[in-house]
Amino acid sequence: MGATPIPDFDAIIIGAGLSGMYQLYRLREQGLRVRVFEAGTNVGGTWYWNRYPGARFDSESYSYGYSFSKELLQEWDWSEHFAGQPETLRYCNFVADKFDLRRDIQFESRVKAAVYDDNSPSWSVTLEDGSSFTCRFLITAIGPLSTPTLPRVEGLDAFKGASFHTARWPKEPVDFTGKRVAVIGTGATGIQTIQTIAGQVGHLTVFQRTANWAAPLHNGKIDAETQAKIKASYPEIFARCRETFACFIHTTDPRGAFEVSDEEREANYERLYGERGFGIWIGNFNDILIDKKANATISDFVARKIRQRVKNRAVAEKLIPGNHGFGTRRLPLETFYYEVYNQDNVELVDIKETPIERLTAKGIKTSDKEYEFDIIIYATGFDAITGSFDKIDFRGTGGVRLKDKWKTGPETYLGIMVHEFPNMLMLMGPHTALGNIPRSIEYSVDWVTGLISFATEKKLTRLEATPDGVKSWTDHVRTLGEGMLSNEVDSWMTGINSNVEGKQTRIVARYSGSAPAYRARCDEVAAKGYVELRLG
């Protein structure tokens, strides 16, 4: 028998977003030969693709950036409390330049397939151009929200005007002046887009299928004094993010909604509605996301706010969700979103009442009438969490397909590994703690780096999750999800996408326990020498 061939790379990382960039940095530190394949022409992932008007953070800028380099933290100034996409993309480029990341990233290289070979043992990764490369470790950094989906509606290609999905927005600015514009979708993305372009368009028609709860962002510039304070307090900011449930700077109120008087509850909601960011969602009473009665109190409060802000009573009622409680889907944050509907040139079409029948050459035909447009914007979301995995033909031992294995929902070990897919390590895959995502990314990358350096030190060439390990983690994730109101609602967080075949049944796609509990479990596995894995 000949000697085992040496793979082209020690590790291949798929994706040069925030996960892939940091993973490259860490593996390079270990002296490994690493190649990143990225479909885009540059770094940034989410912030590279989502260039739509008004795209910005909903978590505080200074809690979102990487925390691993003190130097980087001091060198970078965030200009706003919630930075816009252009600034965040500049930040990603600044990081890539500072750490000279691009020399190991191959751009315009979309991965088509990844096949495991047990004899080598190694992965063979094939790109869309047909070229292929082998590696010992395969790391997916493909993001939970990176496969955009268009509506499944007749005549999608019939429309002769310009049309864009928000996550495939052109690099050149789109001129809306005097244009008749349609936006389909009112999730976090639709809301940011609508509020931003409403002042630029000739006429705007919003097609809403499901109303979403939204609350004010209260963005603002960061002045020099605040900037200095932020820079001096980074250790405290990140220490706080490490302690909170979902790694944001907001801490859940230890009280239940009914442990205070009606007046106190109302005053608390009023205060939270006036504060920056996600406080009203995750800094609120501890039972609003698990108890329907508690949730009804905040839903009622926000509904009253919508009625106050939208002048036309019928439009206000349409904007108030009727099928889910406040915060049980990912909460969009807004800046004068509701006031947009007080403009004469903005119309809200409830497509539950008058469904879209088809697209036409001139616009959109609903059951009521045909609307004519110059531009149609699809803010219709993503095939979330597992969608980007489905698009790559991952094959494990004996040719088993990941897509088949996950047909009825993902099954993972710590959200990082899959049985029969040795040496494949997932960053921000299903069953991991997402939350304030860069915080979760840094933890997962460090954990994966620890595992790879352990393997290198012990001269291990094969690491695999066991069926028992996968079963127990998957059961644990399912149990944690019980009782969460968000898991009883259709949304990308429960794996629902009406535009994708086979994604109409809710699954438990996310880890819904606390980030500290997630980290404690992963730390325990590492501290015990990864004995729960099959090591070879």
List contacts with ligand NA7 (CB under 6 A). Answer: 145, 151, 153, 184-190, 209-210, 330, 351, 379-382, 492, 498-499
Greatest alpha-carbon span in the chain: 80
Cβ atoms within 10 Å of 90's Cβ, excluding its own: 14
* Beta carbon nearer to ligand NA7, 21 or 434: 434
* Beta carbon nearer to ligand NA7, 281 or 492: 492
Tell me the C-alpha distance between 466 and 473, whole Å. Answer: 11
Q: Minimum distance from CB of 13 to ligand NA7 (Å)?
A: 22
**What are the strands, taking DSSP E only, across 337-475?**
346-350, 356-359, 363-366, 370-372, 375-378, 393-395, 424-426, 463-465
**By C-alpha distance, which of 313, 54, 11, 27 is closest to 173?**
54
* Beta carbon nearer to ligand NA7, 49 or 492: 492
* Beta carbon nearer to ligand NA7, 54 or 469: 54
Q: Is 436 left (phi over 0), alpha (psi -120 to 50) or beta?
A: beta
DSSP assignment string, 89-134: HHHHHHHHHHTT-GGGEE-S--EEEEEEETTTTEEEEEETTS-EEE
* Beta carbon nearer to ligand NA7, 10 or 383: 383
Tell me the C-alpha distance between 148 and 447, whole Å. Answer: 29
Q: Minimum distance from CB of 184 to ligand NA7 (Å)?
A: 5
Q: Minimum distance from CB of 519 to ligand NA7 (Å)?
A: 21
Q: Report the chain's C-alpha Rg in angstroms.
A: 24
Q: Which two structure tokens, joined as six digits, stand for 89?
A: 């993309």
Q: Minimum distance from CB of 492 to ligand NA7 (Å)?
A: 4
Q: Minimum distance from CB of 221 to ligand NA7 (Å)?
A: 23
* Four-residue CA torsion sign, 67, 71, 73, 78: negative
Residue nearest to ligand NA7 (CB): 187
Q: Minimum distance from CB of 190 to ligand NA7 (Å)?
A: 5
Q: Which two structure tokens, joined as six digits, stand for 148?
A: 């955009």
* Beta carbon nearer to ligand NA7, 52 or 406: 52
* Beta carbon nearer to ligand NA7, 436 or 444: 436
Tell me the C-alpha distance between 290 and 486, whole Å. Answer: 8
Cβ contacts of 230 within 8 Å, gap of 6 or more: 62, 78, 222, 237
Q: Minimum distance from CB of 271 to ligand NA7 (Å)?
A: 25
Q: Minimum distance from CB of 9 to ligand NA7 (Å)?
A: 31
The answer to whether 385 and 144 are in contact (CB under 8 A) is: yes
Q: Minimum distance from CB of 383 to ligand NA7 (Å)?
A: 10
* Four-residue CA torsion sign, 209, 496, 163, 167: positive
Q: Minimum distance from CB of 384 to ligand NA7 (Å)?
A: 7
* Beta carbon nearer to ligand NA7, 188 or 204: 188
* Beta carbon nearer to ligand NA7, 65 or 381: 381
* Beta carbon nearer to ligand NA7, 123 or 207: 207
The answer to whether 251 and 514 are in contact (CB under 8 A) is: no
Tell me the C-alpha distance between 498 and 21, whole Å. Answer: 32
* Beta carbon nearer to ligand NA7, 121 or 216: 216
Burial grade of 238 (CB within 10 A; 0-12, 13-18, 19 or more): buried
Tell me the C-alpha distance between 195 and 52, whole Å. Answer: 12
Q: Minimum distance from CB of 33 to ligand NA7 (Å)?
A: 34
Cβ atoms within 10 Å of 323's Cβ, excluding its own: 10
Q: How many residues belong to the chain?
A: 536
Q: Minimum distance from CB of 504 to ligand NA7 (Å)?
A: 11
Q: Which two structure tokens, joined as six digits, stand for 258?
A: 């009914």
Cβ atoms within 10 Å of 464's Cβ, excluding its own: 23
Q: Minimum distance from CB of 68 to ligand NA7 (Å)?
A: 23
* Beta carbon nearer to ligand NA7, 151 or 155: 151
Cβ contacts of 442 within 8 Å, gap of 6 or more: 22, 66, 67, 68
* Beta carbon nearer to ligand NA7, 27 or 441: 441
**By C-alpha distance, which of 409, 425, 436 is closest to 509?**
409
